[in-house]
Amino acid sequence: MNIANRILNFFYFKKKENSLKEIFYKHNDNLINKWDHYLDIYDQYFSRYRGSDVKILEIGISQGGSLQMWRKYFGNSAEIYAIDINPECSKFSDSGVEIFIGSQEDHNFLRKIKREIPKVDIIVDDGGHMMRQQIITFEEMFDHVKADGIYICEDLHTSYWSEFGGGYKKKDTFIEYSKNFIDYLNAWHSRNIDKFSVNDFTKSVKSVHYYDSIIVIEKGVIDSPRKVKVGVKVIEDMVFTSDDISRK
């Protein structure tokens, strides 16, 4: 899509349709099952893509209603990809929507998808919500999100439910797994290189946002932080100067 069309689409969507929540509550086609507060979160992070040739991959198709919702929200230029383990979901494939049938915890299946589709702007994991599924999907698919894209994993409350392999503070839940992301973000300041050092996540993630049952990871090309000073020093520093707490 050329720049002129992007600008026209941007203003068209600004004037036309409202929030994702409004689209959701006007929807009367295939079933969509979402927590109400997710809709505002999606709108907050996805609105910049409206009217563009955004590429979105949703994991978990169910009744196909969310695919219809994304089309209404993003517009006809959006490229929509979706994964489900149920072969019946193949029937939701149409112009601009490509369906893949397979398991989200199958490494080879996910790698095959990465070979067949371009890098995407958005991934939404609304799949089986089992711990192994969420972790494998993240590890395989996160690098297939564009450098300025967004990765969302939802229904994280299953990390506390035993029937999904979860439990409070239980090792290997997605919640416990994702807590490492906080360390990765701050790894520039590590003084123990052997145990805690800068990795690909540190260099490719701008921010991590936790909400009730949902995590939003915003990608961005991140360089080592640099400390800067402006102004004139007017008070002698006391015990701790700003330089004392600088990254060594």
Q: What is the CATH number of the domain that holds 157?
A: 3.40.50.150
In this structure, is residue 86 part of a structural domain? yes
244 assigned to some structural domain: no
pTM: 0.87
pLDDT recorded at residue 2: 60
pLDDT tens digits in sequence order for the chain, 248 residues long: 566 555 555 555 554 556 899 999 999 999 999 999 999 999 999 999 999 999 999 999 999 999 999 999 999 999 999 999 999 999 999 888 999 999 999 999 999 999 999 999 999 999 999 999 999 999 999 999 999 999 999 999 999 999 999 999 999 999 999 999 999 999 999 887 777 899 999 999 999 999 999 999 999 999 999 989 899 888 887 665 555 555 54
Q: Which domain holds residue 177?
A: 3-219
Please tell me the predicted confidence (pLDDT) of residue 245.
Answer: 54
Q: Regarding beta strands 97-101 and 79-84, do their DSSP bridges make them parallel or antiparallel, or are they unpaired?
A: parallel
Domain for residue 183, yes or no? Answer: yes
- Asked if residue 129 belongs to a domain, the reply is yes
Token duo for residue 123: 């991934």
Structural domain count, the chain = 1
The CA–CA distances, whole Å, from 15 to 21, 29, 46, 138, 197 equal: 16, 24, 16, 35, 47
Distance CA 93, CA 61 (A): 11
> Locate tokens 């921010």: which residue?
207
pLDDT at position 243: 54
Within a domain: 122: yes
Q: Which of 81-89's residues contact partners 24+ apart within 8 Å by CB, and which partners?
A: 81/55, 81/56, 81/57, 81/113, 81/117, 81/120, 82/57, 82/58, 83/57, 83/58, 83/59, 83/113, 83/127, 84/59, 84/60, 84/127, 85/128, 86/61, 89/61, 89/62, 89/64
DSSP 48: G
Q: Are the C-beta atoms of 164 and 192 separated by less than 8 Å? A: no
pLDDT of residue 151: 98
